[in-house]
Amino acid sequence: MTTNPEDAPDHVAVVMAQWGDERPELDVSPLAVIGRLHRLGARLTEELVAVYGEFGLGEGEFDVMATLRRSGAPYELTPGALAAGTMVTSGAITKRVDRCVQQGWVTRRVSDQDGRGRVIALTPAGRALMDRAFEAHIANEHRLVGLLPADDRETLARILESWGRALD
């Protein structure tokens, strides 16, 4: 007799059952959502990073260049605006930008408006690379969300937006 792998408990269900045995007085039901989201997030990151790598980009470089590209012409931001757009610290931005500068994908220059400030800008080569990488990235995301029925995707998007707003 063969069993359907989809009928087998997933890792989180096994963990929940183990905690149920060890600490039956605790309600471990949040693991059903948070544990699965955590595992799914890690798995999705693997899938996304693999595509970035096809273009010689790491996750940080992709994030910096995508933020600059989607900001519109002239595709440049201050380090503070770049940090806000990527939601990482200014220290992390500095390291990411340094790697992009070394590759010739972005430049760092003194601001025209404030001689003390800096501006990070996509180079033409960086923009061309980002355009190709983003096309592959969005195709990959279509593939990944396409594993779910359309109704489930729409419902999940609404739930995640609502939960994110509640946490903010």
- If asked whether residues 100 and 62 sit together in one domain, one would say yes
Within-domain flag for 80: yes
Produce one character per residue of 20-47: b if its CB has 16 or more CB atoms within 10 Å, e if not: eeeeeeeebeeeeeebeeeeeeeeeeee
- If asked whether residues 37 and 95 sit together in one domain, one would say no
The CATH number linked to 127 is 1.10.10.10
Tens-digit pLDDT profile for residues 105-152: 999 998 777 767 899 999 999 999 999 999 999 999 999 999 999 999
Range of the domain at 101: 57-140
The count of structural domains within the chain is 2
pLDDT score, position 2:
52
pLDDT over threshold 70, residue 5 = no
Mean pLDDT of 26-47: 96
pLDDT over threshold 60, residue 1 = no
